[in-house]
Structures are given as structure tokens and as C-alpha cells.
Structure 1
């Protein structure tokens, strides 16, 4: 890792001050929720990754301490330690206390960088009760400490060393964050992702609170990433296709592999940033793949001259792909940096992918045949699904006469105030219909078993009466045609019993929404109702508890359990009369609703594959690992 680029105080450019961060933290880290809390770690780790991209860092260590403070250690060059030429204070102080100060603006510090806004270290400092920087560089150990964006101790030498690197220790500020309890699994997932995207780097995470640790190192890079994503799926071909190329100053790395599912999973990154909205690199890949596979199908007779081409949707069925580009001047669309906008990248990716995939298919005819046959089956299913969708759409005129027979609709026609309860069984459905507020609450009872859509194509799914009822009631379509702006209810609330069957139904419904109405979840329209587990009656007073902890507290409040205390454990929603169901579970002034969100698309895909897929061993392992977290298990 030899690189003679100079990186010192002259590369650190200053754009503006730090004042606004503590006032409006959400502008800089997204939110002050658990998501924003984790963002602090990512900002510091991104700086270490930038050192790795520049060729100077081989290992990164993240430690979560018992007090929920975090230390990030890297073996890069170490932050510059000289006096800043314009600010006339130590450069470390500039990096830590001035917003938009970093080596990423003038092009002299870093050629390729992920933390492009240069806000990382200073924002973490501003939002931390304690922030300490230790630098090993130029034969010495240097140290400075800060608090809530302000300097606490002067910068200076505290020892000598032959090592090099940066150590940042910070304690998130409880005045800012809703919680400072880091989630080990969430941090692990992102660090694993970074190790895949930067092959050869060593990343270690240690959690001193629970004595856990993980080490990530992948010489295979994103090829290993695709193998990891597909590990619980049946593969169409054993080895992922791996492509690596460079044009001008843009490097492209791509790996893909087909599996026997009916979903596509495409993940795209630019300079290690997860471009969840895609962008020009993803468009280039999709265009090249569709063109090459159609050319191949025609050349070898899978498609006749007059046959319609396979669509992009057809050729991506069952595809898992990761594309990672690294470029010197990326343009991201939007504040969230989730869509790559560089127009030239599309052509670069298209050219590199087109050449390599074409050669690969010709050299591996068995794999080529399997992929094309999967695409042809997908095309036939797409035509069948199109006809079924048109039938569903014809039925989904917003007049109540054409809505599903079991649906008890609400009187309001304003979607923004309407909500629909998806209820398990006719008994609970009856109580819910009687107890609801008819003006804005609709009830759709589910009849019979819900199909496990994880194992089915859309044409088969649309044959299910239960699923057709939901599609028609919601009014937004399904699959690629789903349009969240057309839905008839702002809130879709799943209301099932608090037992094993209820949990299974919830998982089946969430799998369907995730796979075929994704925006419903992504845009925050799906909720899970929380009915009480217990009714406690003492004398004439009735109270409800929603968990075992709440029951214990309630019993203490009423003076303990005695012969006059009656505790009823609800086995199902049907045991409640309409008034009880309204007051405990449906009344907006007192109910508890859990909003369903997807923090990490990869983790969600993996969980749905494990829980609803064909393979038993991964499911057994998942249950064994997560059994300790289960509450309210009804056996």
C-alpha cells in the first residue's frame, strides 16, 4: 500500500462553522432516533474507509463499551497534526470543531471518498457528551478532547510511537438522542457490508456489554457478498458471475447470481454509499443485462425472430446482484445521497457489463440456458399476471358494490383519514365491525389460510381470493403496477391474536406487502395493532395490561393480587366484546400501534427468505438464535 500523495494540513479546507448541528441534528444525521445514533458510528468508520480507499488503511476496529460509548481505531496515516495554515489552530481542532472541514473538497486529500459531505467527525463531536481523538503519527502520540462541539483540552503530544493511525472515542449525548443504546446487529450488518465492498480490509466489532464480537474480511469482495446474500436460496448456477473493470477514473465491480426464487434483489453502491434509490450505475447494469440476454436468446434459438423480447423484469427474476462503483466526483441526487446522478457512469457500466456477460454466456452454455429458460417462464407468468391484474383492476372501482363482500368499508372517502384493519377470522372480524368508528375505520376479515407468497409467482398469487380481496380493497394495484398514491387508506393495520398462529399470519402478510407492495412499508403505511394480553378486575375496576411487565406493575399499583383479583389472559381477539376491542385496541386516543419499517433491505430480504423459504436448516438456526427474544409465546 504505497502512495506518495501528500496528506497534511494544507489539504484540509474550511467551508463553514458548527453552530447549527446541535439545534437541528436531524439535518445532519437524519434523525435523533436509533437510526441517527448508529449514523455517528458510520460517520467515523467512513473516514477510516476513505483511508483504506486511498491505500493507507488495512484494519478498522469498532468497540461498543459497557457505558454505550464507542471507540473506532484504524491503522491509517493518522489525522494531520500540524497547525492549519488559514485557521492558525491545530488541524485536528479544525476537523473536529468546524463543519465541512476535511480532505475531500479540493481533491488533494482523497481521490475517492464516501463521506463526501465532510461533516463526519465534527457532527459526531457536536452530538457527543465526550469526544476524544488520539493520533499516532510522525513518531508521536497526539491527543485532544472535546465536549458537545467545544474544545476541552489543548492539542498536544502525550507519548512516542512507531505506529500510525487514528483512535476516536465518543459518548453520544443523552440530551440529543432518544436512546444511546447501540444495536450490535445493526452495526454488524453495516460493517460486514463495508468489508464486502472493500475486499481485503479487516473490520472487527466488539461489544463489551454482551461479550460479542465479529471479524469481517473478504478477499472475494462483492463476489463473496452475493454468495452471502444467496446462501439460503437454491442457486441456478454455482459460482456468481464477477466483473471488474476501470474506465477513465471510474472503477466498476459487479457480481451476480441467479437463484430459484421469483424476486429480484439488486443492491447498488457508489463510493461505499448504499444508493438505495439506484441511479445511473444501476440503469447501466439493467440495460446491458437485458440487451445481452435477448441477443443470446436470439442467437441460440431460444427466441424466434418474431418473438417479443424478454423484458428487464423477466431477465431479473431470481437475480441477486451487487454493483459497486468508485469515482472521483460523484453527484448524488437529494439530501439523503441515495441516488447516483453522474450521466457518464451509465455508459461505462453498460460497456463493461455488456462485454463480460456476453462472453460469460457463450463460455458457459448450460448456465446461459438455465438463465434464459427462467426468463422465458417469467415472461409467460408476466402475461398471465397482466391478465389477472386487469381483472383485479376492473373490480377495483371505488364504488362499495364492487369491493370485496367481507369488507366493512368506512363512510369517509378521504384516504388521509381512513384506516383498514386486516383481522384474523370472522369472530374477531364481527367484534371489530361492531366496535369500530364507521366513519374512518374499515374492517377486512381474512378467511382461510393465507398463501405463502415467497414460493409463488404473481400469476399464482393473484388466484388467491384472500389476496385479491386485499388488493381490491387497498386500491393501489400490485407488484410493478403498485401505486401508493392510489391507496384508499392511509393506515393498513394488521390485527391478529397474540399467539403463534397470529404471529404466522402477520409474517405472511408482511412478506406479501414487502414483496409486492413495497412502498406501503417504505412510506410508513403499515402498522401492527397491540391488543392487551390481560384484563385485571378488582372490585368494579377493570384495567388492561399489554405485556407481562405491565401486568406486574399493574398488580403493584392495585395493592397486589388477592382473592378479589380476577386476571383474564386473552387467547384471542374474539374473546373481547366490541366495546373492549374498541377501547383497548382501536380507539386512536388510547390504542398502541407499532409502525412497520425496514431499516435494512438486505436484512429484511434475508429474514423473509429464512422464515418463508424452502430450507429448514436456516429457519431452525434463526429460531434457535432468536428464541431468547420471544415474548408472549402461547403454547
Structure 2
């Protein structure tokens, strides 16, 4: 028994059930091609252009100072039960498929086979939202989307050298009041790369704002990274309170929620996710790394910024905050 289906069988499977590979709205195809190109070429510095020329006429433009040949060579690779190459899938479901290369750019021109794909509609705005997210998480990448189907041309360009700190800076700017408690980290721990922005709002009783990512996945329910950061934050506050003999302060977990702003992302290998749609990250090393990191960063902040520390810690003093709502 083999896990390598022959080419004919694989092509037949793709043509019979194309939505398994490209999604109901075809957005997963473009998302997957972008991720696949970066993974196979082991680069992030790339210009990725999606051009919807007209109904069922598309082009993908790729340019990079690095070698893109591994991505193009995926057409020749064998698919396994663990890895499906989407460029190969695209060729199978296309009526027209052509690759043109020159020193400056590689262009893939294609149109879907109408006998395979019944609904040829691409939601431009939904596609833009997805590529916007991918640009945030791949900070050296540039993404351009052009849609020429309508009366006027739609076009969006995405490039975020600051990564997810773009979202963090927006959250800080849009918060009522000026967050005094603010900590950021942008670096590597072991084989994992982290971007973490944490702050507390100063307006009355605001709800938390938490956004987390793992690789190219929006983990909407948090998981290991968020939990590790919160555990490190709580541990640091307890250590600080004990070291400074602040006996009136009662550290309660629920008190950390109000006014909490957190935008975080981690990139690494072999992550495990929870939920049917990867809603959470379930990775013990990430949890331990982020907890240890945040414990140190928060302790350093509290010790070096005593005035700001006092403003933050007032929430744990029952004598100063009588309301039980907060």
C-alpha cells in the first residue's frame, strides 16, 4: 500500500471535488499559493500580485531578489497524503494555464475549467481581507490585488514592515485615554519568532482587546501564546507586590482583564492547533517561552517605571477601588 496516488487518480480526485482543495469561494487557493511560495522558496521577501483581468481570467505575478524556482518546480513534485501542492492543483482545474518568466518577474496566467468550477465568482473584498492579513504576518512581503471586472478598477496594495505592531499601534491610538502601561517585544526565542504588544487603557471599565496569530493563522480564541503572556503578567505582578511588601494589594486574575490590549504573533514549526478551524494554538513550548519572557519584561517595567506601575496597580487595591464591577 502506498500513500502516493498516481497522477491520473489525483487529477480525477481534484476535478471531482475541487472545493476540497481551493475552498468554496476560491479564496483559499490564492491564500495557499502565497503561503506555498514562501514555504517552498524559504523566503519572505516577495512581491505577490493577483490580477483579476476579467471574469474567469487571472494572472499571478511573482518577483523577488531570491530564487522562485522551488515554487515553480512544485508542478513536478508528487503529492502525498500529508502535502498537496496547490500550483499543481491550479493547473489541473484550469482550462488555460501558462507560465511566462523574465529576469524581473514570473507571471502565471490561467482561467478555470468551467466543467470543473461552476461558480467563477471571486469576492474581491473578501480576498483583500485575507491578503491583508497575510501581509501583516509576512512583514517583508508585498501584496498587490487588482480587479478589472467592474466599471472602475479596484486595487489594494499591502506591505507592513512593522508586522502586527500596525494593529497594536492602531489599538493604542483608538483607545480612549493614553495607555501608560505599554510593553513590546520583537525577537526570537529558540526557533520561534515573536511579536508581542501589550498595554492597558486608562478609560473607565473598557473591555479587553485581544488579537493573536500563529504562523499565518488567526487564532481567534487565543490559546498557548495568549495564556503564556497572561500567566507571565500575573506572575510578575505577584513577585513585584511580594518584593515591595505591598500588603494592601490583592492580585486577582479577573482584575487583569479590564482595559487589556494585546496583539501578538508567533512563527515557528510544527504547531498544534485546537478547534475545527484552528481557533486556538495548543503548543506547550510557546506557552512556557511567552510566560518566561513576559514575567521578565513586566518585572523590568514595574521596577523601572514606578509612577506608571503605581497607576497600573491601583486596580488591585480594594481600599481605593470600592466597586466590585471592576
CA RMSD, aligned part only?
3.7
Q: 1:71 corresponds to which residue? A: 59
Q: 1:268 corresponds to which residue? A: 212
Q: 2:30 corresponds to which residue? A: 41
Whole-angstrom CA distance in 2 between matches of 1:15 and 1:276: 35
Whole-angstrom CA distance in 1 between matches of 2:110 and 2:181: 42
Gaps of 5+ in 2: none
Change in CA separation of 1:181 and 1:27 when aligned onto 2, cut-off 3 Å: closer
Q: Of the candidates 361, 364, 385, which is equivalent to residue 302 of structure 2?
A: 361
Q: 1:479 corresponds to which residue? A: none
Helix, strand or coil: the match of 1:368?
helix
1:538-617 paired onto structure 2 within 5 Å = none
1:183-194 paired onto structure 2 within 5 Å = 183-194=123-134
1:50 and 2:39 are equivalent in the alignment: yes
Q: CA deviation at 1:283?
A: 1.9
Query: Which whole-Å deviations, capped at 9, do the CAs of 1:340-367 have from their partners, x for residues lacking one?
Result: 3332221112112221232233333444
1:132 and 2:132 are equivalent in the alignment: no
Contact 1:330 1:340 in 2 (8 A): yes
Q: 1:304 corresponds to which residue? A: 247
Contact 1:285 1:350 in 2 (8 A): yes
Contact 2:188 2:194 in 1 (8 A): yes
Change in CA separation of 1:172 and 1:365 when aligned onto 2, cut-off 3 Å: farther
Q: 1:93 corresponds to which residue? A: 75
Q: CA deviation at 1:251?
A: 2.0
Q: CA deviation at 1:380?
A: 6.6
Helix, strand or coil: the match of 2:121?
coil
Whole-angstrom CA distance in 1 between matches of 2:117 and 2:57: 13
1:385-424 paired onto structure 2 within 5 Å = none
Query: Which whole-Å deviations, capped at 9, do the CAs of 1:378-416 have from their partners, x for residues lacking one?
Result: x979944xxxxxxxxxxxxxxxxxxxxxxxxxxxxxxxx
Q: CA deviation at 1:296?
A: 3.8
Q: 1:162 corresponds to which residue? A: 103
Helix, strand or coil: the match of 2:291?
helix
Q: Of the candidates 345, 355, 360, which is equivalent to residue 286 of structure 2?
A: 345
Change in CA separation of 1:171 and 1:248 when aligned onto 2, cut-off 3 Å: same
Change in CA separation of 1:184 and 1:81 when aligned onto 2, cut-off 3 Å: closer
Q: Of the candidates 233, 249, 265, which is equivalent to residue 324 of structure 1?
A: 265
Whole-angstrom CA distance in 2 between matches of 1:176 and 1:367: 62
- Which protein is bigger by CA-based radius of gyration? 1
Contact 2:180 2:200 in 1 (8 A): no
Whole-angstrom CA distance in 2 between matches of 1:73 and 1:239: 43
Q: 1:216 corresponds to which residue? A: 158
1:120 and 2:120 are equivalent in the alignment: no
Whole-angstrom CA distance in 2 between matches of 1:262 and 1:196: 26
Helix, strand or coil: the match of 1:336?
coil
The normalised TM-score by structure 2 is 0.77
Query: Which whole-Å deviations, capped at 9, do the CAs of 1:517-565 have from their partners, x for residues lacking one?
Result: xxxxxxxxxxxxxxxxxxxxxxxxxxxxxxxxxxxxxxxxxxxxxxxxx
Helix, strand or coil: the match of 1:234?
coil
The structure with higher relative contact order (CA 8 Å, sep 6+) is 2
Contact 1:223 1:255 in 2 (8 A): yes
Q: 1:285 corresponds to which residue? A: 229
Q: 2:178 corresponds to which residue? A: 236
The normalised TM-score by structure 1 is 0.43
1:248 and 2:190 are equivalent in the alignment: yes
Change in CA separation of 1:170 and 1:376 when aligned onto 2, cut-off 3 Å: farther
Contact 2:272 2:283 in 1 (8 A): yes
Change in CA separation of 1:68 and 1:319 when aligned onto 2, cut-off 3 Å: farther
Whole-angstrom CA distance in 2 between matches of 1:219 and 1:81: 24
